[in-house]
Amino acid sequence: MQFRPVTIEDIDAVEMLAIEGMRPHLYSGHLVPQKIRAAIAHFAKSKTDFNLVAFEDGKPVGAIAAFSNPSMWFERHDAYVCMCFTKRPNIGAHMIDALMKWVDRSFNIRGVIWPQEFDSRPGFARLLRRYGFKPQTMCVYRKD
């Protein structure tokens, strides 16, 4: 298993992984692949955001990404996790470790916001609690 940030050459393969992880069949609305590609390209060039992709035999099998944004109400920035998906067991913890090391080294990052899917596994919330995350409720409404 190889872990490294995404590159421009990885966009096609990582796009397919990202779409699989989004489970678009669960949501109303039209998925826009161009927006996904643009986000992956952004992460491939960004010096202020975080991403890590797990490769097995040259194919992506896991990815995590977080972007830094000025905090709405407080000083510094918050990191927003916008993707975390794996197809193999035990690589999620490795990717979360790397994310949290990035957060700890980044003076400008004050907090991490990690929205969870409505049907996420309870074990995943327990894993995040080990890293200091505190569960909060977020209600989301989407028009059909």
Domain for residue 138, yes or no?
no
DSSP 35-102: HHHHHHHHHHH-SSSEEEEEEETTEEEEEEEEEEEE-SSSSSEEEEEEEEEESSTTHHHHHHHHHHHH
pLDDT score of 74: 86
Domain for residue 72, yes or no?
yes
Domain for residue 143, yes or no?
no
Domain for residue 110, yes or no?
yes
* Angstrom distance (rounded) from CA 8 to CA 68: 20
Domain limits for position 61: 2-130
Domain for residue 118, yes or no?
yes
Residue 52 has a CB neighbour count (10 Å cut-off) of: 23
CATH of the domain at 103: 3.40.630.30
pLDDT score of 72: 87
The number of domains in the chain is 1
Q: Structure pTM?
A: 0.89
Domain for residue 30, yes or no?
yes
What is the mean pLDDT, run by run of 10 residues, along the chain of 144 residues?
Answer: 96 93 76 92 96 97 96 91 92 95 95 85 87 86 73
pLDDT score of 67: 96
Domain for residue 139, yes or no?
no
